[in-house]
Amino acid sequence: MAGSQIFESSHSTSKKFAEKLLSIRQAEVAEGRYDLPRSNPPSLESWCKECIAAVSNSNTQRRYETSLSSILAFFGQAKISQVTVERVEAFKRARRQEAVKSATINRDLSLLRWCLKQATRQRFIGKNPFDNVDFLEERKERRQPKILTLEEELRLLAACNPLLRALCVLLTETGLRVGREALVLKWMELDLEQGTVSIAQTKTLAGRRMIPLSDFCKRELLNWRTLTGPQFSPFVFPAPSDSSVHLRSVRRSWKTALKTAGIGFFPIYNLRATFASRLSAAGVPDVFVSQLMGHAGSLLGTYSKAILDYRVDAIRKLELLRQRSSESASVAVSNQMLQ
């Protein structure tokens, strides 16, 4: 394979028999019985770009293109058949020497593995080198997410402008993803009478879900709707300069609110972790926490899809946890203001 010669014994001293056996093998190869790689495989660059172009999600495409730049900077104009285990390992070492984080390297490796997997299916290569390549251990390098206490949440919300306040409450009470789910949310996907939010436009099937809203979240969203609402924009969080499109980022206002509240900086995405942590503290089973957050890949979740009643009960437990803790948090904030 890949240009190498294959030797086979005829188990005979007869040259005529050996030639006959060779003719049989050549016919079998011509018929495609051995699933041998095609000749003249494409370059790594052209093949990866072709694979990425077939991805429907534009955000995923951009993520892959970032990794592809790093891959091509190392592999250059190599053909896909020239990507070996040894060269992949050299790529890993080179990226480590550049002080690149393991998680970033693993994302690059994931793209390369996926593209080469497609290449094996198309018989451009005989075997995916990633069958013998290990990914880097990245868990030790991960920064633990900030879990917001209820007392910190009260201070933070007091420091937010109306839009950011509504967004923060939505994130901590539903666990929505900031960019892919919350900022793109439309009023038609919110049912404030029934108290649910429906997520249909998302990356995975697991992400498509209906989440019950807590009473606290409903009140905040109703207050926000009086300031904007569907008559102003189809989006819950419209862009200030153009109400026909959604807001892209709240980075600057988020940083200002944290500073005003006296809370060290952490990404707003961590509010999703706060939601999950509070559900677990309220006694909600992990499988329901996973489903409410739209996580994919849970074996238990595959066989135990939470019906709406169970999800409502999970949010009810979250509400009870808030009620038990809010009084003490309010007292703590009041004492700080008096000092």
- Give DSSP secondary structure letters for 171-193: HHHH---IIIIITT-BGGGEETT
Q: Is 110 exposed, middle or buried (0-12, 13-18, 19+ CB in 10 A)?
A: middle
58: number of CA atoms within 13 Å, CB side? Answer: 3
- The mean of the pLDDT values for the chain is 83
pLDDT of 301:
40
User: How far is the CA of 89 from the CAs of 112, 123, 138, 334, in angstroms?
Assistant: 12, 23, 16, 57
Condensed to tens digits (0 to 9), the pLDDT of residues 258-300 reads 999 999 999 999 898 888 888 888 887 777 788 788 776 544 4
Nearest 5°: the CA angle 44, 134, 102 is 85
pLDDT of 312:
72
CA distance 240 to 93: 46
Mean pLDDT of the region 35-61: 84
pLDDT of 295:
72
Condensed to tens digits (0 to 9), the pLDDT of residues 189-209 reads 999 988 898 887 666 655 678
pLDDT of 331:
55
For the whole model, what pTM was predicted?
Answer: 0.62
Length of the chain: 339
CA distance 49 to 111: 11
pLDDT of 205:
57
In this predicted structure, the answer to whether residue 24 has a pLDDT above a threshold of 70 is no
In this predicted structure, the answer to whether residue 139 has a pLDDT above a threshold of 60 is yes
CA distance 226 to 218: 12
- Please give the residue that has the higher pLDDT: either 43 or 30: 43
In this predicted structure, the answer to whether residue 87 has a pLDDT above a threshold of 80 is yes
- Contact assessment for residue 271 and residue 152, using Cβ atoms and an 8 Å cutoff: no
- Contact assessment for residue 152 and residue 263, using Cβ atoms and an 8 Å cutoff: yes
In this predicted structure, the answer to whether residue 304 has a pLDDT above a threshold of 50 is no
pLDDT of 316:
78
Condensed to tens digits (0 to 9), the pLDDT of residues 95-137 reads 999 989 998 999 999 999 999 999 998 888 888 999 999 998 8
Sign of the alpha-carbon torsion through 156, 152, 224, 278 = positive
Three-state DSSP state, 320: helix
pLDDT cut 70: percent of the chain above it: 81
In this predicted structure, the answer to whether residue 29 has a pLDDT above a threshold of 80 is no
CA distance 163 to 158: 12
Where do the domains of the chain lie, and which CATH numbers do they carry?
Answer: 44-141 (1.10.150.130), 150-338 (1.10.443.10)
pLDDT of 83:
94
Neighbours of 192 (CB within 10 A): 15
pLDDT of 89:
95
Which structure tokens are listed for 78? 């190599």
Least confident of 13-17, 67-71, 242-246: 13-17
- Residue 82: pLDDT band by 50, 70, 90 thresholds? very high
In this predicted structure, the answer to whether residue 171 has a pLDDT above a threshold of 60 is yes
In this predicted structure, the answer to whether residue 333 has a pLDDT above a threshold of 60 is no
Q: Letter for the amino acid at 1?
A: M
CA distance 131 to 54: 24
| Beta bridge mates, 211 | 197
pLDDT of 1:
45
Three-state DSSP state, 211: strand
Which structure tokens are listed for 63? 């993520």
